[in-house]
Amino acid sequence: MKSDMRKTMGFVFAAGLGTRLYPLTADRPKALVKYDGTTLLERVLRRLTDAGIERIVVNVHHFPDQIIDFLKKLHFPADIIVSDERAYLRDTAGGLKFAAPFLKDCDRLLLHNVDILSDLSIENFVEEHLRSGADVTLAVKQRETSRYLVFDSKDMRLIGWHDRRTDARRGAPATSDSVERAFSGIHIIDRKIVESIPSVEKSSITDFYLQICQNFKIIGYEHNSDFWQDVGKYDQYINHLS
């Protein structure tokens, strides 16, 4: 498994404006908001390096120099590469495509939103991705939210998306064999799939997955027993601290 982890590169989505965390992000990027005394960015980077990942890309946009200076001061057992999007915020798929020149020496990427706290085992997650032969593996949970990914219950292959607030749907129609799960903001994508992301300035990784799920194997990995928390919204952040 160690050799597989060396072929796995990390990617931390840290370029967001952090508007949902305002006023905490009035003078700093979301990645440098502290939780229990440690920045969100350092928490994610420690999780990836503790799992044996030796190369990690961090994309930046909002207060980018603060993140760059912060990374210079920290010492991680990994090569940390900054993908600088200060000129234009490209969203998740666009940011991943923009960073493609940094990704040539890996077989797959472990993608992690900077505002997600979780004790999901990175090693087990990578192992399951390899065992299943998937092109993309999405960490998902049974939890209350408004937007869900839809999977075929027989093999947990992605088939669609559902917004329960508006009943808007994308992808294959729901059937008795489909299940809805909430995305956890942690996923693994093979590098060959990154190469197929369209070269547009701004695009969503969720939209991309829904566009390709009929032609590529995209599966859901349930981790219902793991701790998980999204602290990307101010109310959620405050409530979780209390």
Give residue-wise pLDDT tens across range 208-238.
999 999 999 999 999 999 999 999 887 877 7
Helix, strand or coil for residue 166? coil
Q: How confident is the model over 165-176, as pLDDT tens digits?
A: 999 999 988 888
Burial profile 60-80: b = 16 or more Cβ within 10 angstroms, e = fewer = bbbbbeebeebbeeeeeebeb
Q: How confident is the model over 171-201, as pLDDT tens digits?
A: 988 888 999 999 999 999 999 999 999 998 8
- pTM for this prediction: 0.95
Domain boundaries, the chain: 2-241
CA distance 105 to 107: 7
Q: Is 242's pLDDT higher than 70?
A: no
Q: How confident is the model over 77-131, as pLDDT tens digits?
A: 999 999 999 999 999 999 999 999 999 889 999 999 999 999 999 999 999 999 9
8: which strand partners? 108
* CATH 3.90.550.10 given to domain 2-241: yes
